[in-house]
Structure 1
């Protein structure tokens, strides 16, 4: 199986439905409303997806719960050939933004990640995210949690949630805190907010990666800027098509962006919600755009170069990408 790197994965959003159902049963919580007849997650549109996501997350109430979640997610990712992944994790969901509680959650997640690496050969790094629709004031203690726990495991800082809530610049204070602490920066933009949201995030938050970013295709000048500045896009084609950002795989701009010199990568976002896997993403990209081993190798190199990890980790992952002798 082709070794893969994933840079855009929400930890709770990657929770298998069976895992959340089991957790709800253990805690006597009725979450039947968030599942469809086939047992998958059920929602009407993006905003309803956010509410279903938060309902699923509601049964994860302890560090041990998050350790179990991390183990389940990494086992599934490793089964798809992923050798390195970065997951968005929010102290909002892990202790309510309290630094002491966050440390306990983070310790449990980190230990589970270490066990998964030993068992499955997959390396996890954490990208800490405030939730955009919770507001910029709420982002400040989340940035504090990130800054106080930066290290080998906590390496990035981003912004997730409803992209239409406020503007990137509203969160500049939190991003400045994270930058000063040495965290690498990304931001969701250009999924729903148009090309302008990408331009705003790059200008106002000074990020080096953009989560999604695909609506940049609407602005040729912005596309040129992204290519010139080396901004990497964390593209999630299956997610975009499933949610209707683009009407079909053929209409997705990932190949046009790549042809224009933009550094694109491939991720699954919230895979069980969008009925995808990294294997399916690769299959659909090959089928739709004729991507071959050379193109996938280029995209994987982009991901490795843009990964929020130290040089030793990067070198270790690079060895895993080398073809077998």
Structure 2
């Protein structure tokens, strides 16, 4: 008879990261060898770093999903112009422009456990820098304020751009190297639009199909229950031939993803998403026990989650 393994697999609770899963910090290591170990990371991993940030769901979208978008930030203790951007040239953490304006990038390479703290540290460093150029971090910033502590915005006014032209919109005469880098970046960006009828829902066309990716602020368990009720009732389709195919988990929130037929476009989603938001609110308010069909739907949805961070 074969020996039984001395190790047992412990179930992972909803919202938690398993020891063999990729660490949500983005290091590329397994969780047990990074933020899940006693000495595998220099800073504690923050599961929901942008909580309390105005337009938290949009910030996550710009950091993880949206190619080209910007939003102005208003500082509590300064009148400097600060522009939050999904991506800056060379994935720079921040840039001080010739005008003195500061551009702050969300899609960057460094990961020190708390991106909101990283952003604040980069912003403070950029505000203290007089010369134009790139500003970044080379080591963990240590204790200090987080981005939501430095700004006074109630909401973010997000502008989704057709491409990365905003990289040079303050340059009167861009040289050929700037234009070449811009053309290359634009060629890799998928067309994206932010819906206006609901918060933090983004349509995109990736060429072979279209998607709607909708970042939602509700707690994971409650949201999964509500989505499973709608799925079991056949009420989770947005337009004809659309399908809820799964969801991303990023920075403590879930992002349901729908596949859409080619040619759908963003405008056709406005009324259906508003109606779905109403149905979802009703489902969230339903605290009755899930039926067998709803539990089966929930298991299927939970199995189609992909953790980004």
| TM-score, structure 2 normalization | 0.26
When Rg is computed on C-alpha atoms for both structures, the one with the higher figure is: 2
Greater relative contact order (Cα < 8 A, sep 6+): 1
Q: Which has the higher helix share?
A: 1
